Amino acid sequence: GENVEQHPSTLSVQEGDSAVIKCTYSDSASNYFPWYKQELGKGPQLIIDIRSNVGEKKDQRIAVTLNKTAKHFSLHITETQPEDSAVYFCAASERAGGTSYGKLTFGQGTILTVHP
Amino acid sequence: NAGVMQNPRHLVRRRGQEARLRCSPMKGHSHVYWYRQLPEEGLKFMVYLQKENIIDESGMPKERFSAEFPKEGPSILRIQQVVRGDSAAYFCASSSRTGGNEQYFGPGTRLTVT
């Protein structure tokens, strides 16, 4: 089955700096890679995702890159703000069958702290 | 447009009791996933259901755990004879059949077994 490794486990930055979180996956059949932000006591919130036919995707201050050959993908947050502080999870998914995507395999999470 | 709803948000059970966790997917979504998050850990897949069908239950423990998603009503994750190791946050996510198939998560049910 799929295995997703995520680094670093903790990341501390100053407000305004950039933050980068990296993930690797093992199953070449995976073709969908979402990123989630989880605040304390809440459910994971989908913040950006990328599919295997695309190398990069951007949404305001966040971007995700994908290298299918090396089987790794990264989350980039620019101009970080204190409200970006949370746990970030990467995930990978392959088709369950038909036109439906299946289960997500998550990385271990990165605790991001943005200091004012 | 209401998001994924889960109830109860907090559930306390004594060892040996049963726990029932409910999940109502987003409007228009017909696929439901259940994940478990142990303290200080990531999320682990448990089961993937469509209406009246279990598609993938490869992450479900073989005993005491079951899930259903009936034609009418919410999806239910049922844990029989709970043990302390079942204490965790249980999250439900839903997705639509068409489009991007992104999974949207509910707020979770935090189960504590005493």
Long-range contacts from B41-49, C-beta under 8 angstroms, 24+ separation: B41/A108, B41/A109, B42/A89, B42/A106, B42/A107, B42/A108, B42/A109, B43/A44, B43/A89, B43/A104, B43/A106, B43/B91, B44/A106, B45/A103, B45/A104, B45/A105, B46/B77, B47/B77, B48/A96, B48/A102, B48/A103, B49/B75
Q: How many CB atoms lie within 10 A of CB A55?
A: 12
Interface test with A, best of B51, B101, B104, B109 (most A CBs within 10 A): B101
Any chain A CB within 8 A of the CB of B44? yes
Any chain B CB within 8 A of the CB of A101? yes
* Interface contact flag, A44 B97, Cβ < 8 Å: no
Residues in chain A where the model's pLDDT stays below 50: 99-100
Could you read off the pLDDT tens digit of each residue along chain B, which spans 114 residues?
Answer: 579 999 999 999 999 999 999 999 999 888 999 999 988 778 999 999 988 999 889 999 999 999 999 999 999 999 999 999 999 999 999 988 654 568 999 999 999 999
Chain A, 25-84: which have a CB under 8 Å from a chain B CB? Answer: 32, 34, 36, 42-46, 49
Any chain A CB within 8 A of the CB of B43? yes
Q: Would you state the pLDDT for residue B100?
A: 58
* Interface contact flag, A32 B43, Cβ < 8 Å: no
Q: CA-CA distance, A116 to A13, in Å (whole number)?
A: 9
Q: Would you state the pLDDT for residue B42?
A: 84
Which residues of chain A does B33 touch, with a Cβ-Cβ cutoff of 8 Å? 103-104
Q: Would you state the pLDDT for residue B14?
A: 98
Q: CA-CA distance, B14 to B107, in Å (whole number)?
A: 23
Query: A29: phi > 0 → left, psi -120 to 50 → alpha, else beta; which?
Result: alpha
Q: Say if residues B93 and B102 touch (Cβ distance below 8 Å).
A: no
